[in-house]
Amino acid sequence: MKAVLKEEIIEKIRPVRLFIFDVDGVLTDGRIIYNDSGQETKFFDVRDGHGIKLLMRAGIEVGILSARESNVVKYRADNLGIELVYLGRKDKLSAFEEILKSKSITPKEIAYMGDDIIDLPVIKRVGFSATVADGVDEVKAMADYVAAKKGGRGAVREVAEVVLKAKGKWDEIMSHYLR
């Protein structure tokens, strides 16, 4: 079943030049696994990663903003070619303000996807906000778009496709696969 976007949501998406993602609960399913040596493991969805690459190929910069420090996240960001990485930033709003200054970009040109109350200050400031199906109720109530899929299970890919379609870039992307 295709979701039909309201014109007001499409209008919020059109100016987006940068999409910032939270990690735990968005790019992952929120679980953190430690082995006996204390090494951390996270689960990432390959389709979410491909969605990020599609955004980047369409000219939309991608960033990560997480309250936790994590070498696993650094590795995943490097693997995907994401250079804008802010880790260990519990005050996400101040990190967001730093991004605004460093990129000479307006809040309207930024999309953000988060899942928990720590994300609310940024969700309130960006031009377009999204969350996952299993995000907390307060975030779902405030987000512009709630994915049908859960965090770490395709929600990022879903939202990436929504953004690319709203910006009129989906057909061009598909043409590369349908030659």
Pair 54, 160: CB distance under 8 Å: yes
pLDDT < 50 positions in the chain: 1
pLDDT at residue number 2: 53
Pairs from 97-101 (Cβ < 8 Å, separation ≥ 24): 99/18, 99/20, 99/63, 99/65
Does 86 map to a domain? Answer: yes
pLDDT at residue number 3: 60
CB neighbours of residue 158 within 10 Å? 21
- Number of domains into which the chain is organized: 1
Taking the model in full, what pTM does it have? 0.94
Alpha helices in 34-129 (DSSP H): 46-57, 71-80, 92-103, 120-123
For residue 123, the enclosing domain spans 7-173
Pair 16, 109: CB distance under 8 Å: yes
Helix (H) or strand (E) run with residue 159 in it: helix 155-166
Sheet of strand 145-146: strand arrangement: 84-86, 61-65, 18-21, 110-113, 128-131, 145-146
Does 179 map to a domain? Answer: no
Does 167 map to a domain? Answer: yes
pLDDT at residue number 84: 97
pLDDT at residue number 154: 97
* Residue count of the chain: 179
Angle at 157 between CA 11 and CA 43, to 5 degrees: 140
The CATH number that applies at residue 162 is 3.40.50.1000
Residue type, 123: I
pLDDT at residue number 1: 40
Does 138 map to a domain? Answer: yes
